[in-house]
Chains A and B, each alone.
Chain A
Amino acid sequence: MIWLDTIVQGILLGGLYALFAAGLSLVFGIMRLVNLAHGDLIVLAAFLILTVVSALGLNPFVGALLAMPVMFGAGWLLQTYVLNRVLGDDILPPLLVTFGLSVVIQNGLLEGFSADSQKLSAGPIEAASLPLGPVTVGVMPLLTLISAVLVIFALNQLFYRTRLGRAFRATSDDAVTAGLMGIRPRNVFAIATGIAMVVATIAALYLGMRANFDPTIGPARLIYAFEAVIIGGLGSLWGTLAGGIVIGVAQALGAAVNPEWQILSGHIAFILVLLVRPRGLFPRAND
């Protein structure tokens, strides 16, 4: 029974990793941009929620709702004034720029908030748990997984059921021809990054409520996010959820064997998936 419990906890943990990865997957799927600052942008959003929550004395969930439009705007501005200028056939300039951005965000946060660990306090819900058949699950991990599923579902609906989603897919296929349809690829990219930052804010909410965070933890979160995206198949949103769960379960199983193996097991699972399926579990047909 302990194994069943471990696997369930791993799946729930996977929800958090899927949230870290969803924004990255969205941006990569639309503009083939690898955003090395994604983890730091999540941490930035966590500090933004913390600031709103402490200043107004709000619940973190309400704080995150207020932070979302701000982060959308930040993502839009970042894409319009920085990333659009370096997007092109060469993948190196955006990598360098987002790497630089990562350093800037970390140091900016260190200046503003010091290196102290912080946490978003959600009250009694943090320790609450539910009996679910033979296992007991924490309410917070369960909420995280449900949020991840809802976020991925919402992004999929946006992609495949809306006019904006149609423009996203057309631009991703062929930006020049999309321009002939009257679509302005740079505007589409700016909206996509804005949406990715809203998703990053949701990730930041659960990151901040479930663990301590400080200005320097972004890059470690980025690695989990990357692994989830690659395991799932580049550009596939449901694949990203599956990728997050694979890493979560692997980490939980590793930790059950020996707590020192938790992080290592996640990375080993990533390498094993790559060995068996180099394009990930659910690669897009036309990539």
Chain B
Amino acid sequence: MTGPVLSVENLTAYYGDFQALFGVDLALQKGQALAIIGANGAGKSTLMRAITGILPSPRDAIRLNGQPIGHLSAPEVLEAGISMVPEGRKLFPSLSVEENLLIGAHVRTGSKYWTLDGIYDLFPILAERRYNPGTALSGGQQQMVAIGRALMSNPDVLLCDEISLGLAPVVIRDIYASFPKIRESGASVIVVEQDIGQALKIADHVCCMMEGRVTLSGAPHELSRDAIHDAYFGVSA
């Protein structure tokens, strides 16, 4: 049996003196979609920042295909095969939609499964808007650009940080409708969400975080509504 594509073991993270993560463990199997849920301040985004190398971590606390990557910088983590759709989309305002997508493949093109045409097939509206400034689009379309940009490096692991934040339910549904196609490319996916319903729908495995710790972990069908409620809020329903 092969090991997990991404594993996190006993990960701690600090902002100055403030400890934000307390020994987080998780494993992402190849081809799997893992949802990380939790309230504001649970440490979900900090975990993403640590995995992507924005926040420094101990070398062996994070492994990609068995190789330690905790000590790598953000560009090195991208080259290793992890890309992220950052919270708030973070498109480059000086770049057009197409340039925003192309910059995703600036350093790494990976398997070349995802190309510009592939992204335009996945999100046809972006082809029509390709020459517009990325930030002139609606929130949902911007989110599509951010996802496309992250896919352009053909990552082994795609991290999506709060992609439903600030979007209308119908738009969120459209965006999540693209996930089966994304997974067909072979990418393993981690979705960080506050929208529990959406996260449970697409995930093979769920981790709930609270106050910098994983408080619950399991397959969505194994977890009761009450157990998730307890892990999410820290109090019984």
User: Which A residues contact B (CB, under 8 angstroms)?
Assistant: 163, 166-167, 169-170, 172-174, 176-184, 284, 286
Docked Cα-Cα span, A98 to B39, in Å, equals 46
CB distance from B132 to the nearest CB of A (A): 13
Across-interface contacts of A184 in B (CB, < 8 A): 73, 75
Q: Is the CB of B84 within 8 A of A180?
A: yes
Q: Is the CB of B153 within 8 A of A170?
A: no
Q: Which of A166, A170, A183, A284 contacts B75 (CB 8 A)?
A: A183
Q: Is the CB of B107 within 8 A of A182?
A: yes
Docked Cα-Cα span, A184 to B74, in Å, equals 9
Docked Cα-Cα span, A177 to B150, in Å, equals 11
Asked if B102 is at the interface of the complex by the 8 Å CB criterion, the answer is: yes
Docked Cα-Cα span, A180 to B92, in Å, equals 12
Across-interface contacts of B106 in A (CB, < 8 A): 163, 166-167, 170, 181-183
Given contacts A166-B102, A176-B54, contact A182 B92 (CB under 8 A): no
Docked Cα-Cα span, A187 to B61, in Å, equals 28
Docked Cα-Cα span, A151 to B102, in Å, equals 26
Interface secondary structure of A, over-half rule: helix
Asked if B59 is at the interface of the complex by the 8 Å CB criterion, the answer is: no
Please name 11 further chain A to chain B contacts, defined as beta carbons within 8 Å, in addition to the given A169-B95, A178-B92, A183-B106, sorted by A numbering.
A166-B99, A170-B92, A173-B93, A173-B95, A177-B86, A180-B74, A181-B103, A181-B104, A181-B153, A182-B79, A184-B75
Across-interface contacts of A163 in B (CB, < 8 A): 102, 106
Docked Cα-Cα span, A177 to B52, in Å, equals 11
Q: List 20 A-B contacts (CB under 8 A).
A: A163-B106, A166-B103, A167-B106, A169-B99, A170-B95, A170-B103, A173-B95, A177-B86, A177-B90, A178-B103, A180-B74, A181-B75, A181-B106, A181-B107, A182-B79, A182-B107, A182-B153, A183-B107, A284-B94, A286-B94
Asked if B7 is at the interface of the complex by the 8 Å CB criterion, the answer is: no
Closest to B82 in A: A180
Across-interface contacts of A167 in B (CB, < 8 A): 103, 106
CB distance from B98 to the nearest CB of A (A): 10
Across-interface contacts of A170 in B (CB, < 8 A): 92, 94-95, 103, 106
Q: Is the CB of B92 within 8 A of A179?
A: no
Docked Cα-Cα span, A132 to B230, in Å, equals 84
CB distance from A88 to the nearest CB of B (A): 16
Across-interface contacts of A286 in B (CB, < 8 A): 93-94, 135
Docked Cα-Cα span, A183 to B103, in Å, equals 9
Considering only residues 70-91 of chain B, those with a C-beta below 8 Å from chain A are: 73-75, 78-79, 83-84, 86, 90
- Name the residue in A169, A170, A286 with the highest tally of chain B Cβ atoms < 10 Å from its Cβ: A170
Docked Cα-Cα span, A176 to B84, in Å, equals 12
Q: Is the CB of B92 within 8 A of A177?
A: yes
Across-interface contacts of B86 in A (CB, < 8 A): 177, 180
Asked if B44 is at the interface of the complex by the 8 Å CB criterion, the answer is: no
Closest 4 CB pairs of A and B: A182-B107, A179-B74, A169-B94, A182-B78
What are the interface flags for B135-162 relative to A under an 8 Å C-beta threshold, 1 for contact and 0 otherwise?
1000000000000010001000000000
Docked Cα-Cα span, A172 to B153, in Å, equals 21
Closest to A170 in B: B92
Across-interface contacts of A284 in B (CB, < 8 A): 94
Docked Cα-Cα span, A284 to B74, in Å, equals 28
Docked Cα-Cα span, A284 to B86, in Å, equals 25
Across-interface contacts of B90 in A (CB, < 8 A): 174, 177
Asked if B108 is at the interface of the complex by the 8 Å CB criterion, the answer is: yes
Across-interface contacts of B95 in A (CB, < 8 A): 166, 169-170, 173
CB distance from B97 to the nearest CB of A (A): 13
CB distance from B156 to the nearest CB of A (A): 14
CB distance from A27 to the nearest CB of B (A): 16
- Name the residue in A163, A167, A172, A179 with the highest tally of chain B Cβ atoms < 10 Å from its Cβ: A179
Across-interface contacts of A173 in B (CB, < 8 A): 92-95
Docked Cα-Cα span, A166 to B106, in Å, equals 9
Closest to A185 in B: B75
Across-interface contacts of A181 in B (CB, < 8 A): 75, 78, 103-104, 106-107, 149, 153
CB distance from B56 to the nearest CB of A (A): 13
Across-interface contacts of B103 in A (CB, < 8 A): 166-167, 170, 178, 181, 183
Closest to A168 in B: B94
CB distance from A13 to the nearest CB of B (A): 32
CB distance from A70 to the nearest CB of B (A): 29
Considering only residues 25-59 of chain B, those with a C-beta below 8 Å from chain A are: 52-54
Across-interface contacts of B54 in A (CB, < 8 A): 176, 179-180
Across-interface contacts of A180 in B (CB, < 8 A): 52, 54, 74, 78, 83-84, 86
Docked Cα-Cα span, A286 to B134, in Å, equals 12
